[in-house]
Structure 1
Amino acid sequence: MPSTQGIESGGELHELHIPPSGTPKQIDIVAVHGLNGDSHNTWTHIPEGGKGPQTLWLRDLLPGKLPNAHVMSFQYDSSTHGMSEQSVRGNAGKLVRLLRDKREDYEEEERPIVFIGHSLGGIVIKQALKHAKDHDFTDIYAHTNGIVFFGTPHRGADAASWAATLSGILSAASRKPPSKFLEALKNDSVELRKISEDFRPFGGRFNIVSFYEEHAHRLLGRVVVDKSSAIMGLPNEDPMMLGGNHSTMCKFGVGDRRFDPVWRAIRRAAKARQA
């Protein structure tokens, strides 16, 4: 498997699978990683002990189930203590522009789109669709059929719990200024509330699947994003519990039974909603 080291932190849209020319009914699948994530590693299963092949399921498993899928993964600087000045809104705008350019390159601007977001990535997706709607990226807004969320904190994550998790992961947490993303994810975040309020009026037009984590994070001792925050409560939303903690719920190896409901959810999300 190609190494994922050295991936640039700036905004990029990496193509992980391109269907052969002439494949009928192609769809665009766009994955967006979360806080401290990566366009490849967030979605990569590493065997226990680090022995054996790694599995980037977006590339290694999904095309086997959905061979018509053009799979892409958005890379942006979401480090908790990085120096990026980009906010959720800034990166959402960047995602929309990169996707527009990619679709123009293939001259397939009417191809259905499914977004997949882990944690903060789901917030970026909601804001990206708002941006597309308001700034004349009509092909992206109009042709987005569905969204699949993995542990997205629509109502925020407990600030103390989130900070405790991060401090356990990052030894240098106290030495660098906090990222704007941390502020956006707090329960009392004005930005998060505004993004959620802006999304709700048009969120009913999409097929939505919201996976929430089943298992506690080993450092925190409880789930990072609880069910009440991971579910928006929209009538068109299909909430599903998924095995794994906040980090592992979006990583699947070969033979992982959790992958079956996930690829099926993506397939359902790709279908046009009935009027």
Structure 2
Amino acid sequence: MEITSRPRLLWTAALSLLVARLILQIFMPSRLDSDYAQKSGFELVPVDCFNSSLRATGVDIILVHGLGSNPDTTWQKLAKNVSRNHTDPASQGKQFVNWVSDFLCEDFPPEVRRHARVFFYNYDSYWKNDAIEERRSRLGHELFEEVTSMAVKTPERSIIFVGHSYGGLVIKEALLKAQHLHSRRLVDILPQTKAIIFLGTPHVGSASISLSVKAAQFFHAFGLAPLPSIVEAITHDSVELQDLHRQFEAISGHVRIVNFHEERETLGFWGLWSDFAVKKQSVTLDRPNAETIGLYTDHSGLNKFGERDSNYEMIRNKLIELVKAIIANARIGASVYSVPQKTDKLYTERRNLSDRLEEKLNKPLNGSDQVAHAVAISGLGGAGKTQLALRYVERHKLHYDPILWIDARSQEAIRSSFQRCAQGLNLLTETYSTVPNMAALRDDPAVRVVLSWLQNRNHLQDEWLVILDSADDLNNGIRDVIPSGVRGSIILTSRDIECDKVLPPGSQRLQVGTMEPSDAISFLLRHLNLNATEVPEDIHNLAQSICENLR
């Protein structure tokens, strides 16, 4: 009996092992299987809804996924809103939402979005079955090479990295490579890197990673081919991680750091285990320019959002804040804002006119390729044409570079304005005292050099804006100084209702008439240092009566 039962036990054990292996293969599929292999390449992949064309300045946002991720799904989550709300991409027949391409594209303000390019960086980090032999240092080197190859084409652009979990460690390795190899490359991406957002990155390791190490060993025992070494390398307080962190701190003092961490435990093994995958202490960096922000989610939810919830909004708002700050800093001392006056402190904005000007400057010209946009503002003297243009300029400082203001009241004023603009653009090449004032405006060297510079701006460079203010006399040579160029926008103000005729064909017209009653009341009360929304009713009625009598 004992002899016959032994083979049976062996067969039972072998069958159990086979069944266990089959179950593991179902739950831990190989990426060599075409049904489970990622469709995206292991490279930098541009997010199509952002402007991926090369521009000389701006910000590149590069998102790097974590360990064991499928690049096709790592930034996705099942959509929560499936109602027929067509403003939400999740409602348009999609089951899953990629928050970067579905939400972020819509939510970036235009003045931010036009400066931003967004990329996913995909790499092979699968460790559970049929894993390739990989090390974090090599993954960092590959990221460094990819970003450097892109930066060669646009060396003036800034970089924001976003790394989820292990991806943050890969980013740190890439920047260390940049520090060591910068003398052998045409560009150095380390100074270009202005900010990093870490999403649950275990800077000093993860205490719960030991379970993953044991799981990898378990998979190996059943004939799978995991990679336990890549998991073991993020054990809490490992010497390797301490060295990486110390070296990164030494080279990244100029980088703004934002650490997001989970505030919910992660469930594992079908709910039999729960813990913080990366504790707050491991996420936090002890440095003055580092922020630490908690999100109400678990570790896997730090980079997946099925709706525009508070967690998504915090990351979105931080990205917008960082891009705005980088753009503003890049403009200091570099951009040209040649506008010699400011909006009058008593100026009462006419919201309807401001909105219409905004709308018209977003419309391309029909029938002309001389400039991208042009608007002629006409109205009586003192109607507020100049103040309207000034308010637009002040609100869009970050949208254009350069912004040039030309006083067009006379030929002398035009010459003087172009000389000021030429100096601002560092284009002075001749001594203007030798040029007779009787020469035609088109022959003035300052006019020629500025107009030529504007015309030669191309699609790799920022848009420019020229304001020709108070062009009341359309016969004083104003036609000869109208700029052209594919990157250009023009605002012209004049008392002449036909002033749009000096602009390129298809230019928009905007007439400034008398004030609306509500605007007139606000204007009068502001001159008396009173707020229209706070004054007593009798004073408001008196102001209304005065304005009606003046109409």
State TM-score, norm by structure 1.
0.85
Equivalent of residue 72 in structure 1, options 119, 144, 151: 119
Match of 1:30 in 2: 62
Match of 2:305 in 1: 252
Q: Does 1:16 align with 2:62?
A: no
- Give, in angstroms, the shift of residue 171 of structure 1: 8.3
Q: Deviations over 1:79-104 (max 9, x none)?
A: 22353222111011101111122334
DSSP 3-state at the match of 1:113 = strand
**Aligned-CA RMSD value:** 2.9
- Give, in angstroms, the shift of residue 123 of structure 1: 0.5
- Give, in angstroms, the shift of residue 12 of structure 1: 1.3
Equivalent of residue 159 in structure 2, options 93, 105, 113: 113
Q: Does 1:164 align with 2:196?
A: no
Q: Deviations over 1:249-272 (max 9, x none)?
A: 211123322111101212333334
Match of 2:142 in 1: 94
Q: Deviations over 1:135-158 (max 9, x none)?
A: 115431111110000110001001
Which moved further from structure 2: 240-249 or 252-261? Answer: 252-261
Unaligned runs of 5+ in 2: 1-34, 83-92, 330-551
Equivalent of residue 201 in structure 2, options 152, 166, 172: 152
Q: Does 1:195 align with 2:247?
A: no
Stretches of 4+ aligned residues off by more than 4 angstroms: 20-25, 165-171
Q: Larger Cα Rg: Structure 1 or Structure 2?
A: 2
CA separation in 2, counterparts of 1:166 and 1:47? 32
Are residues 5 and 111 of structure 1, via their aligned partners in 2, closer, same or farther at CA, if it must alter by over 3 Å? Answer: farther
Which moved further from structure 2: 22-31 or 53-62? Answer: 22-31
Are residues 266 and 149 of structure 1, via their aligned partners in 2, closer, same or farther at CA, if it must alter by over 3 Å? Answer: same
Equivalent of residue 186 in structure 1, options 203, 216, 235: 235
DSSP 3-state at the match of 1:132 = helix
CA separation in 2, counterparts of 1:71 and 1:171? 39
Match of 1:7 in 2: 38
2:197–2:257 CA contact under 8 A, matched in 1 = yes
- Give, in angstroms, the shift of residue 75 of structure 1: 1.2
Q: Deviations over 1:167-200 (max 9, x none)?
A: 7799846533434321211014232111101101
Are residues 135 and 70 of structure 1, via their aligned partners in 2, closer, same or farther at CA, if it must alter by over 3 Å? Answer: same
DSSP 3-state at the match of 2:163 = strand
- What one-letter code is carried by the residue in structure 1 that aligns with 2:278? V
CA separation in 1, counterparts of 2:139 and 2:40? 12
DSSP 3-state at the match of 1:258 = helix
Which moved further from structure 2: 81-90 or 264-273? Answer: 264-273
CA separation in 1, counterparts of 2:78 and 2:132? 28
2:213–2:232 CA contact under 8 A, matched in 1 = no
Are residues 8 and 188 of structure 1, via their aligned partners in 2, closer, same or farther at CA, if it must alter by over 3 Å? Answer: farther
Match of 1:63 in 2: 105
Equivalent of residue 234 in structure 1, options 261, 269, 287: 287
Are residues 25 and 258 of structure 1, via their aligned partners in 2, closer, same or farther at CA, if it must alter by over 3 Å? Answer: farther
- What one-letter code is carried by the residue in structure 1 that aligns with 2:107? K
- Give, in angstroms, the shift of residue 52 of structure 1: 4.8
Are residues 203 and 111 of structure 1, via their aligned partners in 2, closer, same or farther at CA, if it must alter by over 3 Å? Answer: same
CA separation in 1, counterparts of 2:55 and 2:156? 15
Q: Does 1:128 align with 2:159?
A: no
Q: Deviations over 1:193-252 (max 9, x none)?
A: 111011011222111110010111112312100000011222110100012111012111
What count of residue pairs does the alignment treat as equivalent?
266
Are residues 9 and 54 of structure 1, via their aligned partners in 2, closer, same or farther at CA, if it must alter by over 3 Å? Answer: closer
Q: Deviations over 1:27-49 (max 9, x none)?
A: 1111111111133422111237x
CA separation in 2, counterparts of 1:77 and 1:269? 29
